[in-house]
């Protein structure tokens, strides 16, 4: 079992909802990202998605787009993101890490080489938002060969039949995009999310389901967690980092927000 499978198995045993925290590798700097991931782990994140900066993040809203621009300006690349993860593992960071992003950097690096390097660095899974199911085997095969989970992405428009095809090829968990649009945008309709999740669940078998896009605070996290196994929070965390004045405040901002979300999912707060 991968760290991701272990995390969801533990959550199931404990009857708790999972929290997946997204950060952009290299924002505000590569060195600070290490401290921010460790803060998220310590505050209760069950999985960390580490976004690989790219120049055309079409699925992301302005908050993460700006973070990626700053990360690229600071020299962040796929290779340096993997070095960062390797350093996290050397520092005894045990939280499951999903390398999150777009296919172009992986394609340029080479899918087989990228999967091997990711596994060696301590990555647990890959999620590529713009690689269609029909074209994914060139990445699926190297992921299987190196023991990496391939996280499938489901949209509000995904049919149960297509969801079943994703589940058959994927592992770790499925990521359901709660909104049509980009990250950080729109208003979540919890009832609609619950209906769509309920419609897709039978197609996923035992694969856990996480809901993301539009989860911004404790209330929205609680609302969308009800029909799912986990929630994903990204733009709100990146925004909190961006608003903090210095490195110490950025670590505290991540720790505070992740802790608040963790408490909300565990039913420890009424906010």
Catalytic residues: 49, 60
Closest CA to 239 of 260, 221, 217: 217
Closest CA to 209 of 165, 176, 180: 176
| Residue 214 CB neighbours (<10 A) | 25
Give the C-alpha separation, 234 to 156, whole Å: 19
Q: In sequence order, what are the residues at sequence separation of 6 or more whose Cβ sits closer than 8 angstroms to the Cβ of residue 238?
A: 22, 23, 24, 27, 63, 64, 67
CA–CA–CA angle 101, 72, 240 (5° rounding):
75
Closest CA to 179 of 213, 205, 137, 202: 213
Q: How far is CA 95 from CA 39, 41, 208, 237, in A?
A: 11, 6, 17, 17
């Amino acid at each position: 079992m991968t760290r991701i499978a272990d995390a969801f198995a533990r959550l199931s045993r404990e009857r708790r909802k999972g929290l997946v925290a997204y950060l952009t590798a290299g924002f505000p700097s590569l060195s600070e990202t290490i401290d921010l991931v460790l803060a998220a782990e310590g505050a209760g994140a069950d999985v960390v998605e580490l976004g690989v900066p790219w120049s055309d993040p079409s699925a992301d809203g302005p908050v993460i787009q700006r973070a990626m621009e700053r990360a690229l300006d600071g020299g962040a690349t796929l290779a340096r993101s993997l070095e960062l993860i390797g350093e996290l593992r050397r520092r005894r960071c045990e939280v499951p890490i999903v390398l999150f992003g777009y296919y172009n950097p992986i394609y340029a690096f080479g899918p087989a080489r990228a999967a091997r390097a990711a596994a060696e660095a301590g990555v647990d899974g890959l999620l590529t938002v713009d690689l269609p199911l029909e074209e994914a085997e060139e990445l699926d095969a190297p992921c299987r060969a190196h023991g990496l989970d391939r996280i499938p992405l489901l949209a509000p428009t995904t049919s149960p039949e297509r969801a079943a095809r994703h589940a058959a090829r994927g592992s770790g968990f499925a990521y359901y995009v709660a909104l049509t649009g980009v990250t950080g945008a729109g208003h979540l309709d919890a009832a609609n999310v619950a209906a769509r999740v309920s419609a897709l669940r039978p197609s996923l078998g035992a694969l856990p389901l996480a809901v993301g896009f539009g989860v911004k605070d404790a209330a929205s996290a609680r609302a969308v967690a009800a029909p799912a196994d986990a929630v994903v929070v990204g733009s709100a965390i990146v925004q909190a980092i961006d608003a903090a004045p210095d490195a110490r405040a950025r670590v505290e901002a991540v720790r505070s927000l992740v802790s608040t979300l963790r408490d909300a999912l565990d039913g420890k707060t009424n906010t």
